[in-house]
Amino acid sequence: MTEKKQRKPRSAEANAKMAATMRAKFDDPEYRAMHKARSAAANKKWHSDPENAAKFAERSSERMKKRHAEGNWKADGGRSGISSRGIKKALEIHKEMYRQMAKDRYAAGLGINSEESKAAKAAASKWIMKAAKDALHAETNYNELYQEAHIRLRREMPYDGPSDGADYHEYIKKLGTATVNSPECRKAADDFMALAIPMFAKKWQGMKSND
């Protein structure tokens, strides 16, 4: 049987060139997505082999036994502590890459910047605000406060012109804005909405999760 030929170690220049090539590849969002999909498929295929799965489970079990035997296991936060440190280290190492990936996704109209995501947010906002507004009028004394403020402001800002002209419509518009922004109406609405909006947002999320 012929002896396997030993590969010569690469030079520092060759390693740098290869690293630059790989960085250039991973700068391409399509390549990153393809690489991720291929890696996931290869990993799934490898684990689908019962022998491989058993070996992996055994190695994982041995690692955990070793960690539990170490005196600093609990002091270091256990599994969650190790995971947190691992995630933090990965973020520190690949922070710029993750930022660029997020920017690329946003620029390409994916994720939170996709049309589907924008439409979903718009639908959620519309439903939540309508439900909160309906509850404001049905469950509080906002309507009475509005009427009282409206009458008071009408006395403070009287209008003596004709009621069928453009000036009157402008006056009514200004009066309505002033009424909504009056201290009593503003406080009642703000205090209620501060509680109602999160409540209806949670209700919306529950509805969507059950779809």
Distance (Å, whole) CA 41 – CA 173: 62
Q: In which band, very low, low, confident or very high, does the pLDDT at 1 lie, cut at 50, 70 and 90?
A: very low
The C-alpha atoms of residue 58 and residue 172 are separated, in whole angstroms, by: 77
Cα 150 from Cα 132, distance rounded (Å): 22
From the list 177, 205, 188, 206, the residue with the least C-alpha distance to 135 is 188
Reported as a single tens digit per residue, the pLDDT across 29-39 is 888 889 899 99
**For 158, how many CA atoms within 13 A lie in the half-sphere containing its CB?**
2
**Portion of the chain with pLDDT greater than 70, in percent:** 86
Residue 179's SS3 state is helix
Residues 204/128, Cβ–Cβ less than 8 Å: yes
0.85 surpassed by pTM = no
Q: What is the DSSP letter of 112?
A: G
